Each structure stands twice: as C-alpha cells, then as structure tokens.
Amino acid sequence: MFSSACFLAIAFGQPVVGQVAEDDPVRDASVHIGPVGLNPGVTVRDVGVDNNVFNEINNPKRDFTFTIEPTLTILMRTRRGLLTADGRLDLVYFNTYDTERSINGFSHARYEYAFNRFKPFASLSALDTRERPGYEIDARARRFENTFQIGLDAKVASKSTLQIGVRRQTVAYAGEAIFLGRRLEDVLNRTLGAADVNWRQQLTVLTTVVVNASSERERFTFSPARNSNSLRFRGGLELGRFALIRGNAFVGYRRLKPVEGSALPEFSGITADVNVAYTAPTQTRLSLGVARDIQYSFEITNPYYVQTGWTAGLTQRVIGRWEVRVTGGQDRLAYRTSQLTVGARVDRVDRVGGGVGYALGDDTSVGFVVESIKRNSDEPGRQYQSVRSFGSVNYAF
C-alpha cells in the first residue's frame, strides 16, 4: 500500500554522484558508544483520517488515526565478527474504534564472522503484529512470524561469492484472530523449511548479478490438505544506492507441488520482485515496483491466489526543498481452486495517490499524502473503496 512513510523515503532519497567508498556500517553509524554504533530514528506517520476503517462496502466508518514508529539499529564488531540488530515498534492509535489500536513489533539480529575466504552467519527475526497481511484479509488480526537462518558465504574469486544456507520460518495467527467467521489459525498456521544456494557476481562497483535456487517444504499445522513442496529459481541485478538506476530487479520461476493426499492445486509459473528508481538531472525521480508470487488464502475452496502487482511513482522537485509526488498501481488476485472444486475468480485492487513533501534537513522530512484504494470482486461483500489523508514526520538522529 502507498503510505506517507514510503512517500517520504522515496521522495527525499537522492543519489550521490562521485567515488564510492567501502561501506563500514559501524563507522557510518550516527551515534557511537565505545565499539558500538547506533542508528536511532522515529517516524510519526499516518496522521489523519481513514474514511473506511474496516474496509466495509456499506456504511463505512471514519476515524482519526496516527502511528508512532521508533526504530533502532545496533552495530558492533567483535574482532572479525559483526553483530547487527534492528528493532521497530509501531504504536497504532485510533480515536473512536479502540479495538483497532495495537502495538506491533519487529526485530532482527544477525551475526557473521569473517575468515579469509569464508564467512559463516546466523540470523533471527521476529514479527508480532496486527497489521493486515495483505489485500484479502480486512481484519487487523494478530499474527506472529519467526525466521531462523544459518549459512556460509564463500569467496570463490575476487568478485564471486557462493552462499549456502538453511532457514526455518513459522507463521502463527492468534486463537482469537477470526475473519468472516473463520479462525485464521485453522487455515494459515504453517512452518516452512528451506535450503538455499546463491551465487553473486560483481560486475562493477555498483552492479551485482545474483542467481539463487531454493527448495522449500511447507507444512500447515491444522490443514494438512494444503501441504506442499516448492522449487524456486531466481536471477537478477542488485544496483547500488549510488547508481543512476538503483534498487533490485529479480525474475524467477516457481514450481509448487502438493504432497500425497493434499488437495492443493499445482502451480508452475513466473515470479517477480522488482523495486527500482531513476533520478533525472531535472530533479525528477521515477520509481517502479513489480511483484508476482503465491499468497495463501483463508478461503477453504480457494487455498491460494497468484498476486501480480505493480506500482509506479513520479516525484518532482518544484521549489527549494518542496516536492510533489503522484503514484498509481494495481494488484490482481487470481484465485486457484482446490482439486475438489471447480471455478475460480479474480479480484482487483486499484491504487492511486499523491502528496507533497518538504525536507527540513538531510535526515528530517515532513509530508502529506492522499491515497485511494478500491477493491473489485465478484464475491458478495468483498468490494470496498477507501480514501485516506495522512501527514507524516520522519526524523533520524
């Protein structure tokens, strides 16, 4: 979704032209306490009116809302090792509908140790949130996601790196999380185990080719009829933050096969994950995002849908530090039926927005955005339209 926080991040993130120096995250931290580097920040976002709090088709409810989001990154070197820890809290407030208030947390920690050519690593992330998981489930339902990964980076040549690793992810909805009469934990709680192989080839200082392959095993806690195995292949470019065109662009292929006894339909098709931006000398910035992959549904007869979406944005510096931005996009949710049913449907979500922003300094900015989201569906009661008007303030210490 288009948000004021995303607008500020995109609107004021300008490229730097010149020689690229080797990054040292501890050295570049804004605050230092002995060997520890800190990057604190706070964002006050989504300050305004949501005219459809519950995404209802009839009699939509309006409310005043805002979110305070403190963040902190901790970095520390231990001889050849580097510890990185990130944390974020979302304090979400609704004035009238206090059932929608929440405290959402995200944390991630990674430790790596560098030998001459080898760099083993381990990472752990945890999410505890009531944010909507996507465009399908309109309830702000509590869910927990935990991911653990271990692996090894091997320097094959001066510009080539091979990474192998395994990861385990769990997704669990709280027992009281219910949407349209269905307990979400019954159909969406699951565990994923995966083995990953990645090849990175640096072409230039600013461009890296990445190719990876994954074997995934997904098992549902209370719905074994959804169990599956997947093979993924993906390739693309990572473009450095100092490049004229910067970001990531990946295209891949996924094959999902149900396990024996599963009613899940097979899937073989293209996946995509593109997020790039270009800044012209005229102070015009263009951004493009494209995503395509499977998302699991809470519906019994439609166990998953293929979500294909795009977002495009234009930001123009107008006077001094003032900028204006317009954005638009669409997501297509193509449902796949179980092997025991016939028929499917396609929902569509259209998005359009715009706003203004002002940079108070290198790390401080304010902005105001208006966004409209409309979902079209053949399923009765699943259509809605929402208009939100929000302001935001972003500050990094």
Tokens of 284: 């015009």
The predicted model gives 340-350 an average pLDDT of 79
Sequence-distant (≥ 6) Cβ neighbours of residue 393 within 8 angstroms: 43, 44, 45, 364, 365, 366
Tokens of 325: 């931005």
CA distances from 312 to 161, 273, 330 (A): 33, 14, 10
Query: What is this structure's pTM?
Result: 0.88
| 116 close to 87: Cβ distance less than 8 angstroms | no
> Given this model, what pLDDT does residue 242 score?
83
We report the CATH number of the domain holding residue 256 as 2.40.160
Tens of pLDDT, residues 120-129: 999 999 999 9
The predicted model gives 133-141 an average pLDDT of 95
Q: Which of 161-170, 259-268, 382-391 has the lowest mean pLDDT?
A: 259-268
Tens of pLDDT, residues 232-284: 999 999 999 888 899 999 999 999 999 987 888 999 999 999 999 998 888 89
Q: Is the pLDDT at 87 greater than 90, yes or no?
A: yes
Range(s) of the domain holding residue 229: 4-396
Number of domains in the chain: 1
Q: State how far the Cα of 213 lies from the Cα of 164, in Å rounded to an integer.
A: 10
> Given this model, what pLDDT does residue 341 score?
55
What are residue 135's DSSP bridge partners?
Answer: none
Please report, in angstroms and rounded to a whole number, the separation of the first and last CA atoms in the chain.
Answer: 27
> Given this model, what pLDDT does residue 189 score?
98
Q: State how far the Cα of 243 lies from the Cα of 249, in Å rounded to an integer.
A: 14
Q: State how far the Cα of 396 lies from the Cα of 392, in Å rounded to an integer.
A: 13
